[in-house]
Chain A
Amino acid sequence: MSESLELTPDEPGTVRTRTPIIEAHGIVKRFGGVIAVDDVSIAVESGEIHGLVGENGAGKSTLMRVLAGVLAPNEGAVRVDGEPLDPGNTRAALEAGVSLVHQELSLVPEMTVAENILLGSTPTRFGFVDTKEQRRIAVDALKEIGVSVDLDEPIARLSVAMRQFVEIARAIAREPQVLILDEPTATLTPAETEYLLDMLKRLAGRGLAIIYISHRIPEIFTICDRVTVLRDGRHVTTVEIGETTPGAVVQHMVGRELELELQEHREDPKIGEVVLSARGIRAPGVNAVDLEVRAGEIVGLGGLVGAGRTELVRAMIGADFRTGGEATITLGGTTRRVTSYRSAITAGVAYIPEERRTDGLALTMAVVDNITLPNRTALSRRSVLNRRRVKEFARSLADAVNLRPPEIQREVGQYSGGNQQKVVLAKWLGREPDVIILDEPTRGVDVGAKAEIHRLIYELADNGAAVLVVSSDLPELLDLADTIHVVRDGRVVGTLSGRDADETSVMALASGQVEADGS
């Protein structure tokens, strides 16, 4: 049955077996008229870490959801250990030993670590929750992945990274044969990522088959045995990692020669007067921070996840409650205090939030509606929208951000992550903001869209906007920022010039290895 699969000889010293533990044949998955996965076959062996890469919308997540029984394919079948899997039956997939760690975290914030690890398979005794057994299984699962955390801590109180680890423990507690991880490192810092990668290697060493989705090519080359590349829903190639190079993989992903190098620093940024100024900002997780951004300047906020950067920018512009300090916007000689979020927007601030799906976009509405929202006043007369102007306006902005396909009547939710982020940018670009704050502007965005978003950010700054970028993607931060403030424990612990900073110097400050230089 596996004649169409290329099985490669085992490398000495690995526990990989020749027969695949999980194999999918000719999977086709359509959503309406759109083909998300088009005749893809994949096979993974026990003990193997199999990388799965591709741009956003390439069909990786869909394929994995078919494997895990979340979605039923239109064509094709999945076999686990030779046994056919009931399509679209999550419970059957779990029982067969396929565990999926979701891209979006799916834990219950109010429940404890132990309760979450056993969520959906809570052990019972005489119909009551068997808490002793629950704790035992949770402890075992956490031990298995080598993470120590208080079992009784509610999830809401854990860091993002720890939640991710609990999510993995939850998958492990079901004693899977196949573990699927969908971009587990998207929200992790380099140190946390390294920890996770080591953990996965250990798990694979004990015979677990792991399918690992990531946008980060270096991670794939660090841990994977083989890598499969998808493009536009189709299978491009599956190769042994030793027989390929990062450049070749990226080329397969994009299907064209790509100047992978994102634009380096701007040549000679024209930096003007201070526009955004914050003094002594205090909020939960933010400790008396001062900050300035000048016209034409790109200021980056670096630091570990949970350091308080998002909280800082949100408190500064009034999106969340501020317990102390004040922020001002100075333009053309007039200084205005930020007294509320709406006053910040009125003063010329654009804020692109971290969570585009929940905070950035109305997903069930059309592109044109999303673009209209912050620009409604400019597009109306006496509160009546001018529909012709609305359409023209949306069309020109969709073009400006290179939305693909540029269909402004289409629901935003139908677009891929990169295109959704472009819509978020488009809606704010329409206001010609003087201050633009971007929180993780390219998280979960493919390489091509990332370069385009960077180009837009440069353009904004070149046109004199004051730009503040929060990013956990270090190379991105180093590329974009003229000045980098490193945040730790809600304080700015160091300021580096974008020109001189490198990953080591930022991380040294972020992790507390180096103490502050006078700030």
Chain B
Amino acid sequence: MTEHTHKPAIHLPPVAEIEQEVEEKAFKFSEWMAHQGIFVVTALLVIFAMLFVDGFASLPNITDVFNRAAPIGIVAAGMTFVVISGNYLDLSVVAQVATAGVVLIAVSNVFGLPVAILVAVAIALLYGLVNGIAVGVFKANAVIVTLSTTFIGLGLLRWLTGGSIYFGPNDGLIRAFGTARLGPLPLAMVLFVVVTLLLSLVLTRTTFGFMVRSYGSNREATRLAGVNTGKVVIGAFTMSALGAMLGGFVLAAFSNTAVSAMSTGYDFRSLAAIIVGGTSVFGGRGSVLRTLLGVVFVSVLTNIMVLSGLGFGVQQMAIGLLIVLAVSVDALARKGIAS
């Protein structure tokens, strides 16, 4: 019998622990990169930024980074469920974030905040149900389904709003939430961390989270174990929809305005955060806490580019490049596992 040495424990929830407790293997860069790389790379990036990027290491800038990271982070945390379930991604978060933001401001302007929240929750549940049924019950391709629901949702929103910008009242609760602080921390950031921890617990501790991971690892084996797989997929898309709704709230509250174009790029930036964090697009492996790290990485990277005066075009290219790199590392690591 071979001796099993355990890698030094890094404190993460059970899924990640399981990954670490696998016996020590010969070092393989792609596998190390896919599983542990994010810790080192994020640390290096932050150190680099502190040393070489003017204006990075200031309290207003750091606060700004987290304020911007909060909505995308909440969206990505929810979408992590879809990725782990082996359904690639939920593109429709773009439509969902904008819809939630517009509903929050426009509807509460007329009917008050509670009604706005109820309407937004109903819309989120509808998105979860429609995406989930098409993908999980009808077995349609997730990329095409969510691309289509993006069109339906954004189209509907543009049609109803005519592309108008909605402003909240200056003395309203929404504005108060958007500017609130808990000590030195923006409330949005605290909410981001709380949501991440909560979703992390759902994924690692509940039977629902367990079934999402199992389904992502092997659909047929999970079905044959007596799991209602349709419900699992609907659940995963509903988590994604609720994350997108909260993300939309935070984004709208931040500026106290909402418009149908407010969420451009949220699909791929969330995906970048999830994959860079080390959650596998092949399903079955990953965690919400990893997504948190991925969000930090993507946000810091974006901030460095902004501070260095690089425009949106360059930022967009960088996100694209990052995704290609991360999925390639993911695929290489998987190949290592398969052989």
Contacts and interface: CB of A to CB of B under 8 A. Distances in A.
A7 to B, nearest CB: 33
A35 to B, nearest CB: 8
A427 B24 contact: no
Interface in A383-415: 383-385, 387, 405, 407, 409-411, 413-414
Given A319-B224, A353-B224, A410-B22, A384 B218 contact: no
Q: Which of A32, A384, A413 has the most CB of B within 10 A?
A: A32
B226 A361 contact: no
A413 B337 contact: yes
A387 B1 contact: no
Interface stretch (A192-200, A374-382, A463-471): A374-382
Contact residues on A (Cβ < 8 Å of other chain), bracket? 35 or more
B206 A384 contact: yes
Nearest to A376: B207
B83 to A, nearest CB: 14
Contacts of A370: 221
B205 to A, nearest CB: 5
Interface string B203-216: 00111101101100
Interface string A224-258: 00000000000000000000000000000000000
B206 A385 contact: yes
Interface string B96-119: 000000000000000000000000
A370 B210 CA distance: 10
A6 interface: no
Given A364-B218, A372-B210, 5 more contacts: A34-B23, A361-B221, A384-B206, A387-B14, A409-B21
B4 A407 contact: yes
A378 to B, nearest CB: 10
Contact of B225 (A31, A346, A373): A373
Interface of B: 1-2, 4, 14, 18, 21-26, 28, 205-208, 210-211, 213-214, 217-218, 220-228, 284-285, 337, 339
A31 to B, nearest CB: 7
A373 B227 contact: yes
Nearest to B201: A384
Contact of A358 (B2, B218, B227): B218
B147 to A, nearest CB: 26
B217 A362 contact: yes
B81 to A, nearest CB: 15
Contact of B2 (A34, A346, A377, A427): A34
A369 interface: yes
A142 to B, nearest CB: 32
Given A359-B220, A365-B284, A345 B226 contact: yes
A366 interface: yes
A155 B221 CA distance: 25
A369 B216 CA distance: 13
* Interface majority SS (helix, strand, loop, mixed), chain A: mixed
Which 3 pairs, one residue from A and one from B, show the smallest C-beta to C-beta distance? Answer: A32-B25, A345-B226, A362-B217
A71 interface: yes
A358 B220 CA distance: 7
Given A362-B284, A385-B205, A385-B210, A346 B226 contact: yes
A368 B207 CA distance: 14
A291 B18 CA distance: 43
A34 B2 CA distance: 7
Contacts of A341: 223-224, 226
A158 interface: no
Contacts of A205: none
A373 B227 CA distance: 8
Interface string A482-499: 000000000000000000
A427 B224 CA distance: 12
A413 B227 CA distance: 21
A364 B220 contact: no
A384 B205 contact: yes
A266 to B, nearest CB: 28
Contacts of B211: 373, 376
A342 interface: yes
Contacts of B223: 341
Contacts of B4: 407
A285 B240 CA distance: 42
A30 interface: yes
Contacts of A369: 18, 210, 213-214
Given A372-B210, A385-B210, A413-B337, A362 B221 contact: yes
A324 interface: no
B199 to A, nearest CB: 14
A31 B339 contact: yes
Contacts of B285: 364
A306 interface: no
Contacts of A458: none
Contact of A411 (B22, B207, B221): B22
A368 to B, nearest CB: 8
Contact of B207 (A361, A363, A365, A380): A380
A74 to B, nearest CB: 9
B25 A33 contact: yes
Contacts of B23: 32-34, 407, 410
A311 to B, nearest CB: 15
A228 B160 CA distance: 76
A500 B28 CA distance: 57
Contacts of A165: none
